[in-house]
A and B are shown apart, each in its own frame.
Chain A
Amino acid sequence: MKPVVVTGLGAVSPYGAGVVAYWKGLAAGVCTIRDLTLIETDGFRCRIGAEVPGPLAGSARRTRADRLAIAAAGEALEDAGLGARDRRAAALVVGAVGGGMLEAEAWYWRGGARPACLSAVRAMLPSAHAETLSSRFALGGPRHTVVTACSSGAVALAEAAELIADGVVDVALAGGVDAVTRICFMGFNALKLLDPVPCRPFDRERRGMSIGEGAGFMVLESRARARARGAHVYATLAGHGMTTDAFHVTAPEPDGDGMVRAMTAALRQAGAAPAEVRYANAHGTGTPQNDRIEGRALARVFGEGGLLVSSSKSMIGHTMAAAGSLEAIATVLALEHGVVPPTANLATPDPDVPFDCVPRVSRGVPLACAISNSFGFGGQNVTLLFRRGPA
């Protein structure tokens, strides 16, 4: 197994375009969840979410999600300094759920009549992002689209790491993207999983999640290759664990067994002891079930109070297929800067979550090793374990 390192980062978040804006917002604990403007929300119990502010990159003829993806992927490729020859051989793994659904919904609601917004409807499927990115950036290696609900962006990174570790490719662009869509907003409203006020992960009064949107991409590379070309190495993706609850379509398994197995597998692959991990960027959606069970699972692996835990979703909402990759970027930046981003909106810690969840204000802590958890509907659990620098 070849060691896999992170050499490029790209993010488009509700803070705007770029990794710098993303980290600045997270580190300052700024919550971006407010009234939604992209879709009609009249009559819904929850009417808020976290939208990416304009203007967006690329032609308005593209879907919103494709435009988010192009900007984040372009930033990551440029940050890594990958030339045309590198890109020609690079794998592309994209986590996606909504695809171009936002534009397809708009077309459908107009009665599906011509003249349709043809260019957007053509890019409706989740696989369209990978087609757009490969064409736009001339990425010529294997191309995968991962659809595992809310863990898609994290699975994309894990699968890209496997392609490199197994020697299939030396370099990969991987991450996730999603735009706000009506079907996501209305579906979660119908499930009564949305908090009418900005979500409050790990708070005793929490009532659900807030939806968000964005794109996060990383350039992953074999450590040998990164060294040979003198690339800056942010972190090593030292281990990952992927498991399935096989329990329920939406609810996590109550004892958190699947989550525990994912975290344990990531530790084992990295050869890391639980005590080495000082920070967990939690899935932390803000739903009563997720946070309680995730807290329990973290305690089973790391011991009560064994590490700092925070939820980026408290600030940027749940960015769906982008969440796993945007939060992986947050984890890498926490290692790089020695700063744990906070959990915003956390006023009254839930005694069922036996950890310091870094309420409202970020914490300066030297970090060598951290994990990022992502759990998709249907119990699709992923843990990514990063070590600072080239390890």
Chain B
Amino acid sequence: MESKEVLDELKTILVARLKFDPRRAAETSESTPLPKGIEGSIGLDSLDFIELSIAIEERFGIAMDENQDLTEYFASFDTLSRFIAGKLPSA
């Protein structure tokens, strides 16, 4: 799966699992910051990150280590989709 396909899946998760307005999800770009409190971000809070992690693991069949600091990968759609693509077997 290419990074671009992963990105599309992430946008689907944003709407289906995190209940974001579909228009808002469509407006985001690869560089849009994810965490709340950063200018121009989509404003995910700590609970959103937990839901997002669960949804990613169940959608892509990967496991993320909770003891590892994943902050840098969850910075934007771009960093996150590359992180996921790197964990997929085909990569």
Contacts and interface: CB of A to CB of B under 8 A. Distances in A.
Interface of A: 58-62, 115, 117-119, 122, 135
Contact of B57 (A61, A117, A118, A135): A61
Contacts of A118: 46, 50, 66
Contacts of B17: 135
A122 B54 contact: no
Interface string B10-27: 000000010000000000
B50 A62 contact: no
Contacts of B54: 58-59, 61-62, 119
Contacts of A60: 57, 63
- Top 3 A-B residue pairs of the complex, sorted by shortest distance between their CB atoms: A59-B57, A59-B54, A119-B50
Nearest to B50: A119
B67 A119 contact: no
22 contacts: A58-B54, A58-B58, A59-B53, A59-B54, A59-B57, A59-B58, A59-B63, A60-B57, A60-B63, A61-B53, A61-B54, A61-B57, A61-B64, A61-B66, A62-B54, A115-B66, A117-B66, A118-B46, A118-B66, A119-B50, A119-B66, A122-B47
Interface string B40-78: 000000110010011001100001101100000000000
A62 B53 CA distance: 10
Nearest to A132: B54
Contacts of B63: 59-60
A173 B27 CA distance: 37
B52 to A, nearest CB: 11
B7 to A, nearest CB: 20
B77 to A, nearest CB: 20
A115 B64 CA distance: 14
Given A60-B57, A119-B54, A119-B66, 19 more contacts: A58-B54, A58-B58, A59-B57, A59-B58, A59-B63, A60-B63, A61-B50, A61-B54, A61-B57, A61-B66, A62-B54, A115-B67, A118-B46, A118-B50, A118-B66, A119-B53, A122-B47, A122-B50, A135-B17
Interface of B: 17, 46-47, 50, 53-54, 57-58, 63-64, 66-67
A74 to B, nearest CB: 12
A135 B54 CA distance: 12
Nearest to B47: A122
Contacts of A61: 50, 53-54, 57, 64, 66
Nearest to A118: B50
A93 to B, nearest CB: 23
A17 to B, nearest CB: 16
Give the one of B17, B58, B63, B67 with max A CB within 10 A: B58
A52 B23 CA distance: 43
B65 to A, nearest CB: 10
B14 to A, nearest CB: 15
Contacts of A122: 47, 50
A320 B66 CA distance: 30
A126 B46 CA distance: 21
A135 B47 CA distance: 14
Contacts of B47: 122
A387 to B, nearest CB: 39
Nearest to A61: B54
Contacts of B57: 59-61
Contacts of A58: 54, 58
Nearest to B59: A59
Nearest to B17: A135
Contacts of A62: 54
Give the one of B63, B66, B67 with max A CB within 10 A: B66
A62 to B, nearest CB: 6
Nearest to B67: A115
B19 to A, nearest CB: 9
B44 to A, nearest CB: 14
Nearest to A123: B50
Contacts of A135: 17
A199 B79 CA distance: 54
Contacts of A119: 50, 53-54, 66
A112 to B, nearest CB: 15
B50 to A, nearest CB: 5
A61 B53 CA distance: 8
